[in-house]
Amino acid sequence: METIMEYILEQTRNILAIDSPTGYTEEAAEYLMNTYRLLGYEPVKTVKGGVLVNLGGEKEKDGILLEAHMDTLGAMVCEIKGNGRLKVSPLGGLNPNNTEGENCRIITRSDGVYEGTFQLENASVHVNDDYSTARRSFSTMEVVPDEKVSSKEETEKLGIMAGDIVAFEPRTVITEKGYIKSRFLDDKLSVGILLGFAKYMKEEKITPKRNIYHHITVYEEVGHGACGTVPEGVTEILSVDMGCVGEGLNCTEQQVSICVKDSVGPYSYPVVSGLIKAAKEHDIDFAPDVYPHYGSDADAALSAGYDCRHGLIGPGVYASHGYERSHVDGVKATLELLKAYLL
């Protein structure tokens, strides 16, 4: 198990290092395609840009689809200002309060990548009398390119234009105490867990009774990641995403979350009951929770009209959509629950 855990953490680091804001996921998808091939699988890239993998099973009927997403929060250039700096529009639920002062990359379509910082306008405390009280919003903040530009024309000469992607630095750290800190653990940590699960199945030469698929989706952060690509014979969809940690909730970073209801509605009673039963029987540290501001890939698939049961699990993650934190114990608990429930 230690080697599988090490593999999960290694892959999580690797995936976090690849910029993949919603709408810009091709490089991450290629990395995952190659990684699944190295494990001995035959992944397929969907037309939408996701990665679909058949992990095998004794029967194709009553299959289960495990879904995690590789797309992250980010931004898009929407205006080059007169001073050469950039106004941006969020991709997904990016919150400007959580990204102030963060290093970022401006990814142009044909002129390379430029470094920059996302700042409040007039960001010097020694100059701006209103610095402390100024509202942080996308109308009051800007990307400052690390280039000698002071006009719109000079920035345009670099090849920067509206529609360019802005990717934020993840700042990934794994501490000696087992804490995993990074932007975009939602949901690249669970992508790493699914890769570890796939590696475990291959190394142990396990053929499950039910056919198991992985779908690493794109566009989850804007709500339609899993609105397609459900293989024939699948009757259950299990989203493997982050578990929320915060006031009024039960889950900690050391546990696996079993979501019973989110903002869309309750998850399938038989699925949730089966997950809880598996966790109890195998002494897995879990927490059931209701998430008031959450929607998952499993929700999206059902909203698209697929006739499936659905569930949601994931390692506890604190400070969601900010600089997030989880723990290796929560990762291990999530992996163990997948094994107990599926194998």
pTM (predicted TM-score):
0.97
| 41-45, 58-62, 102-106, 140-144: least confidently modelled range | 58-62
Confidence of residue 226 (pLDDT cuts 50, 70, 90): very high
**Residue 66 contacts by C-beta under 8 Å, 6 or more apart in sequence?**
194, 197, 212, 213, 214, 215, 238, 240, 338
- pLDDT value for 298: 98
pLDDT for 59 equals 85
Asked if the model's pLDDT at residue 1 lies above 90, the reply is no
Q: How many CB atoms lie within 10 A of CB 273?
A: 13
Six-digit token string for 250? 């039960």
Phi, psi of 141 (to 5 degrees): -125, 160
Mean pLDDT over each residue of the chain, to the nearest integer: 97
Q: Span 206-224, mean pLDDT?
A: 97
Strand partners, 51: 45, 216
What was the pLDDT predicted at 29? 98
Buried b (16+ CB within 10 A) or exposed e, 236-268: bbbbbbbbbbeeebbbbbbbbbbbbbbebeebb
Give the whole-angstrom CA distance, residue 282 versus residue 31. 33
Q: C-alpha distances in angstroms, 226 versus 67, 131, 180, 292, 312?
A: 8, 41, 27, 21, 13
> What would the CATH number be for the domain defined by 74-168?
2.40.30.40
Query: Over the stretch 66-120, which tens digit does the pLDDT of each residue have?
Result: 999 999 999 999 999 999 999 999 999 999 999 999 999 999 999 999 999 999 9
Domain ranges of the chain: 2-72+184-342, 74-168
Is the pLDDT at 60 greater than 80? The verdict is no
Look at phi and psi of residue 197 and say left if phi exceeds 0, alpha if psi is from -120 to 50, else beta: alpha
Per the residue annotation, which of 67, 142, 220, 221 is the catalytic one? 220
CATH topology of domain 2-72+184-342: Aminopeptidase (3.40.630)
- Residue 182 has what pLDDT? 98
- For 330-342, the pLDDT digits (tens) are 999 999 999 999 9
Average the pLDDT over 249-254 and give the result: 97
Q: Round to whole Å and give the CA distance between 8 and 184.
A: 15
Count of alpha carbons within 13 angstroms of residue 8, beta-carbon side: 28
Distance CA 173, CA 13 (A): 9
pLDDT digits (tens, 9 = 90+) for 275-310: 999 999 999 999 999 999 999 999 999 999 999 999
- What residues contact residue 73 under an 8 Å CB cut-off, 6+ apart? 21, 22, 90, 91, 92, 93, 94, 168, 183, 184, 221, 321
Q: Is 281 a catalytic residue?
A: no
Percent helix, strand and coil across the chain, each rounded to 5?
A: 25, 30, 40
